[in-house]
Chain A
Amino acid sequence: MTEKDKFEKVRRIIAMSRKETRQMLRDPSSIALGMVLPLLLILLFGYGLSLDAKHVPIAVVMEDHSPAAQSVWGAFAGSRYFRPRAVNSMFRADKLLSAGRVDGIVRLRHEFSRDLHAGHAKIQFTANSIDANRARLVENYARGVVAAWLAQRQLTHGWHDDQPVAIQQQIWFNRGLVSRYFLVPGLLVLIMTLIGALMTALVVAREWERGTFEALFATPVEPTEIIISKIIPYFCLGMIGLAIAVTASRLLFHVPIRGSLGVLFLVSALYLLVALGMGLLISTRTKNQFIASQAALLLTFLPAMMLSGFIFDIRSMPPAIAAITYVLPARYFVALLQTLFLAGDIWSVILPNTAILMLMAVLLLGMTRRLLVKRLQ
């Protein structure tokens, strides 16, 4: 290849990516998909969505009004996890629970203080477990509150009645168990998939549909150049999205970033290439915008949301479903993200996951290149 050929090649790529960028900026549906939706997701995940229950409304049925019972009330009221309200009958409390107005009922029977002296008092806790996950957390909180109350009581009464075995717990990477810390980084996988796969799924199909490929194919532009120039603008948009999301998670939502930013951006760029590969491959294969967007939703976005370990831990899935996740690039990216944000540069996580993503990027983009022939039909 001569110097001149190379120069012309570069000029064609620049011209084509400029065209692509303009089209992207002038198409309202790509604005909605590539800019409005990611921002909405960042805000929702940062401010709105959380798995951490706080100030759980509970009903406390005080059939006993002794000082001991009062101190149990005090323990629940003093906890930041609960917002108790006194209810005078169990019947009323049941109604509140069924209607979903409270998430649990604490019942102190009238024999509570008598039993307490006898050493076998029962604090009855009823949880509404329609939302099982929340119920489990709420029950754990209740255990904690009662244990603390007991310890306090033993201290003040000078009893010496230790538990035989106790746990000294330590949580690494996310001491306060704040769910936002793993939801917000995971969000990056959604944004990158949205921009990388869903948006680009439309761009090749659009040219087929509008008949512009016919004119383009008659020019000296080569398929590789077409692919490169379609990647460039969406890659840039994806990186802008990444920068915004990382900044927002650090400054607005105070998610720690313990790994190095460089590695984070590098692996994100890699995943973005994989997503672009998926989008372009779908687009090249289907040649139809509608089917392409449908396929991109089903094959890239929904799995990235449901099967990547972003919200639902892969370890909780049955083996058959967990096996499916191995072919999903999102799975590897989520593992990288959670590690890089919360744990740091742990190379035993970074290296294998990066290697797999790299392999996928090469495979997908290579297949796209092979499929895109300058022929109609």
Chain B
Amino acid sequence: MEAIAPPPAPVIVCGALCKSFPDGRGGVTNALAGVSLEVRRGFMVALVGPDGAGKTTLIRLIMGLLSPDSGAIQVLRRDIVRSPKTGESHISYMPQKFGLYEDLTVQENLDLYADLHSVPAADRAQRYAALFAMTNLGRFTKRLARRLSGGMKQKLGLACALVQSPRLLVLDEPTVGVDPVSRQELWAILLHLVKTESRTVLVSTPYLEEAELCNHAVVMYQGKILAEGSPREVADHARKRTFRLTLPAETKPRQAVASLLTFPAVADAVPEGSQVRLVLKAKVAEIPQFPLASAAQEVQPHLADGFMVLLRQAATTGAPPAPLKTTPTVSAKITAAESEYPVVEVRDLVRRFGEFVAVDHVNFQIRKGEIFGLLGPNGAGKSTTFRMLCGLLPLSSGMLRVAGYDLRHARAWARQEVGYVAQKFSLYAHLSVWENLVFFASAYGLRGNRRKQRLTWAMEEFDLGAVRFHATGHIPDGYKRRLAMACALLHEPTILFLDEPTSGVDPLARREFWRRITTLANQGVTVVVTTHFMEEAEYCDRLVIMMNGRMLAGGTPAEIRQRGKAPGISEPTMQEAFIRVVMDEERALHKAGGA
């Protein structure tokens, strides 16, 4: 065998891969349009890109689970296309849904994969011990996988993939829908693996700060690779374009963001505490004068900034994002007196499921026109709280008022005040977009002129004309999200509940979403939102962090950030603050348990 060029030999080589799928309406969508990629041994490669960029398709092709329309793939020097024997024993794979058997216990799942990968019985004890130490699952070996929280499931999925010692580890969005603490733990495991065992890892993720931890990032968009290189190189696409703006005291960052994003030169703007991070589309030689800002400072770009620049450049050729019209939803501006009036009031809220206390004496108030965030790790009780607020779940004890009512017992018209967008954008998949809108209009008793007016408003505001007669199940996710919002806003609610509205959503769509929410809040709509994205907490006026059913922290984003202060961290990010709050709590619990 001839000598192969210096140490890192290629583990995966893809050449000009193309793959298309029928789109359910007679046409085809091109998931991959000519992708070439090389992954070298010992590298940790991140695939990033918006939804539908082709990340999952690429991974499945590499795993031999799909066959390409054209192109070549070599994995560990074997031609996957020509000899499609899948299940190479040196490769481990963790699909999006983790591949766990929910009816089996943690131990049984591990045993199954150990048997399938022919892990010798003698090695198992040691291997299991290492995996349990890594994942902290040792205490739960007898628990059914279905009873694990999202973060634990994800770790078990990883443990199953690592039950053998793979030469290549492939992970498809392993951290979607998982809280920041679990995410951090998972990445710690992965980094450890690469460093100590020099494994090759290919991982796709929608979280750009995660990609920053890898030594190679591949940015995908619409089935093509936009850019690749080290995270630094990708971030450099935003060099000399990224600034931090200081705002005058009376300007809310999210409002500044909303108006900054309307400028054509702006690629991205996100709130950062009381400041705004701004990325321009083009390089500038010196710091320009920014509107709304009292001061500006150039900063090192992050991977996310480079990513946004790349995407904005590519998106100009693709479909433009939905235009945001400014038709008011609720016309009245809020007066100072009104903003003091609590729209949502929660006192000593408790919810028990049998012995288990899911929500334990929670208190908060939300004022009119506020954006209020509920944050917390998986299983913290935020969904339970949320469902009680919406009247979907009875409370065990305590007091709860939404617009003056407990919605569970409120008469129907009280619910007119409330709009609700569920986690999965739940709409009637077999009805067309228009039929969905008409149904919800009737559900809220809209009739006559008002009905006509509101339906027209929804079609225009959310730009749904193109898909009006399409079955909702077959339209792209972006449209589904807009339609869900449209349905929730048809009856001009004064309170909007949003349950993880941005989970699994790419950065572009998230920006659009928050722009809309900001506009709504300006118009006096009260918004209650749960999210896993810590940077999104920055958009909130106030937020609470929950864990184990209890409130750990509450306040404005700036106040919460202060909780993250530690030696060496002078300007903690929201994520750091969150992890710190949660870790402190865990340590305290541990101590209490130990004492």
Q: Which of B66, B87, B98 contacts A221 (CB 8 A)?
A: B87
Docked CA distance A235–B64 (Å)? 32
B112 proximity list for chain A (CB < 8 A): 15-16, 18-19
Docked CA distance A120–B360 (Å)? 94
The contact string, 1 if C-beta is below 8 Å from chain B, for chain A 188-223, is 000000000000000000000011101111111110
The contact string, 1 if C-beta is below 8 Å from chain A, for chain B 92-105, is 11111111111110
Interface contact B101-A19, CB-CB below 8 Å: yes
B149 contacts A by Cβ under 8 Å: no
Interface contact B60-A219, CB-CB below 8 Å: no
Interface contact A216-B108, CB-CB below 8 Å: no
Docked CA distance A359–B60 (Å)? 38
Docked CA distance A219–B115 (Å)? 10
A118 contacts B by Cβ under 8 Å: no
A169 contacts B by Cβ under 8 Å: no
- Name the distance in Å between A368's Cβ and chain B's nearest Cβ: 19
Interface contact B116-A23, CB-CB below 8 Å: no
| Size class of the B contact interface (CB-based, 8 Å) | 35 or more
A211-B103 contact given A216-B116, A219-B116, CB 8 Å threshold:
no
- Name the distance in Å between A223's Cβ and chain B's nearest Cβ: 10
B116 proximity list for chain A (CB < 8 A): 12, 15-16, 216, 219-221
B533 contacts A by Cβ under 8 Å: no
Q: Which of B86, B88, B89, B100 contacts A212 (CB 8 A)?
A: B100
Interface residues of B in 40-94 (CB under 8 A from A): 60, 63-67, 84, 86-89, 91-94
Interface contact A217-B115, CB-CB below 8 Å: no
Interface contact B95-A375, CB-CB below 8 Å: no
Q: Which of A374, A376, A377 contacts B87 (CB 8 A)?
A: A374
Interface contact B102-A11, CB-CB below 8 Å: no
Q: Which of B65, B108, B111, B170 contacts A375 (CB 8 A)?
A: B65
Q: Which of B64, B99, B170 contacts A216 (CB 8 A)?
A: B99
| Size class of the A contact interface (CB-based, 8 Å) | 20 to 34
- Name the distance in Å between B56's Cβ and chain A's nearest Cβ: 10
Docked CA distance A16–B118 (Å)? 12
- Name the distance in Å between A29's Cβ and chain B's nearest Cβ: 12
Q: Which of A16, A214, A374, A377 contacts B97 (CB 8 A)?
A: A214
Interface contact A19-B108, CB-CB below 8 Å: yes
Interface contact B97-A210, CB-CB below 8 Å: yes
The contact string, 1 if C-beta is below 8 Å from chain A, for chain B 104-122, is 1000100111011110000
Interface residues of B in 330-388 (CB under 8 A from A): none
B225 proximity list for chain A (CB < 8 A): none
From B86, B91, B111, name the one whose CB has the most chain A CB atoms within 10 angstroms.
B86
Docked CA distance A336–B385 (Å)? 62
Docked CA distance A214–B66 (Å)? 10
B160 contacts A by Cβ under 8 Å: yes
The contact string, 1 if C-beta is below 8 Å from chain A, for chain B 146-166, is 000000000001001000000
Nearest-CB residue, chain A, relative to B116? A219
Interface contact B98-A215, CB-CB below 8 Å: yes
Interface contact B63-A218, CB-CB below 8 Å: yes
Docked CA distance A214–B98 (Å)? 9
Interface contact B104-A219, CB-CB below 8 Å: no
Interface contact A210-B92, CB-CB below 8 Å: no
Interface contact A14-B115, CB-CB below 8 Å: yes
Nearest-CB residue, chain A, relative to B66? A376
A221 proximity list for chain B (CB < 8 A): 87, 116
Interface contact B113-A219, CB-CB below 8 Å: yes
Interface contact B101-A15, CB-CB below 8 Å: no
Interface contact B118-A8, CB-CB below 8 Å: yes
A11-B60 contact given A210-B102, A211-B97, CB 8 Å threshold:
no
From B84, B96, B97, name the one whose CB has the most chain A CB atoms within 10 angstroms.
B97
Docked CA distance A215–B87 (Å)? 9
Docked CA distance A39–B113 (Å)? 35
From A26, A212, A218, A374, name the one whose CB has the most chain B CB atoms within 10 angstroms.
A218
A222 proximity list for chain B (CB < 8 A): 87
Q: Which of B97, B101, B160 contacts A23 (CB 8 A)?
A: B101
- Name the distance in Å between A3's Cβ and chain B's nearest Cβ: 13
Nearest-CB residue, chain B, relative to A220? B87
Interface contact A212-B67, CB-CB below 8 Å: no
A220 proximity list for chain B (CB < 8 A): 87-89, 116-118
Interface contact B86-A217, CB-CB below 8 Å: yes
A14 proximity list for chain B (CB < 8 A): 115
Interface contact B108-A214, CB-CB below 8 Å: no
Q: Which of B60, B63, B87, B103 contacts A26 (CB 8 A)?
A: B103
Q: Which of A12, A23, A218, A377 contacts B104 (CB 8 A)?
A: A23
Q: Which of A27, A215, A375, A377 contacts B93 (CB 8 A)?
A: A215
The contact string, 1 if C-beta is below 8 Å from chain B, for chain A 353-377, is 0000000000000000000001111
Nearest-CB residue, chain A, relative to B121? A11
Q: Which of B67, B115, B157 contacts A15 (CB 8 A)?
A: B115
Interface contact A214-B118, CB-CB below 8 Å: no
A214-B87 contact given A15-B112, A219-B116, CB 8 Å threshold:
no
Docked CA distance A218–B98 (Å)? 12
A374 proximity list for chain B (CB < 8 A): 64-65, 86-87
Interface contact B104-A211, CB-CB below 8 Å: no
Docked CA distance A6–B215 (Å)? 41
- Name the distance in Å between A199's Cβ and chain B's nearest Cβ: 14
A211 proximity list for chain B (CB < 8 A): 95-97, 99
B113 proximity list for chain A (CB < 8 A): 219
- Name the distance in Å between B59's Cβ and chain A's nearest Cβ: 10
A55 contacts B by Cβ under 8 Å: no
Docked CA distance A375–B108 (Å)? 25
A22 contacts B by Cβ under 8 Å: yes
Interface residues of B in 5-39 (CB under 8 A from A): 21
From A19, A219, A376, name the one whose CB has the most chain B CB atoms within 10 angstroms.
A219
B157 proximity list for chain A (CB < 8 A): 215
A218-B93 contact given A15-B112, A377-B66, CB 8 Å threshold:
yes
Docked CA distance A43–B555 (Å)? 65
Nearest-CB residue, chain A, relative to B104? A22
A18 proximity list for chain B (CB < 8 A): 112
Docked CA distance A16–B103 (Å)? 13
Nearest-CB residue, chain B, relative to A9? B118
A15-B87 contact given A216-B116, A376-B65, CB 8 Å threshold:
no
A15 proximity list for chain B (CB < 8 A): 111-112, 115-116
A8 proximity list for chain B (CB < 8 A): 118
Nearest-CB residue, chain A, relative to B91? A218
A218-B118 contact given A15-B111, A15-B112, A211-B95, CB 8 Å threshold:
no
- Name the distance in Å between B49's Cβ and chain A's nearest Cβ: 20
B86 proximity list for chain A (CB < 8 A): 217-218, 374-375
B101 proximity list for chain A (CB < 8 A): 19, 23, 212
Docked CA distance A305–B93 (Å)? 45
Docked CA distance A8–B115 (Å)? 8
Nearest-CB residue, chain B, relative to A15? B115
Nearest-CB residue, chain A, relative to B115? A15
Docked CA distance A315–B167 (Å)? 65
Nearest 10 pairs of A and B residues by beta carbon: A215-B99, A15-B115, A211-B97, A218-B93, A214-B95, A219-B116, A220-B87, A26-B103, A8-B118, A23-B103
24 A-B residue pairings within 8 Å (CB atoms): A11-B115, A11-B118, A16-B115, A19-B101, A19-B104, A22-B103, A23-B103, A23-B104, A210-B97, A211-B95, A215-B160, A216-B99, A217-B86, A218-B65, A218-B87, A218-B92, A219-B87, A219-B117, A220-B116, A220-B118, A374-B64, A375-B67, A376-B60, A376-B66
B residues near A, CB below 8 A?
Answer: 21, 60, 63-67, 84, 86-89, 91-104, 108, 111-113, 115-118, 144, 157, 160, 170
A-B contact sample (4 more), CB < 8 A, given A215-B94, A376-B65? A215-B100, A215-B160, A216-B99, A218-B92
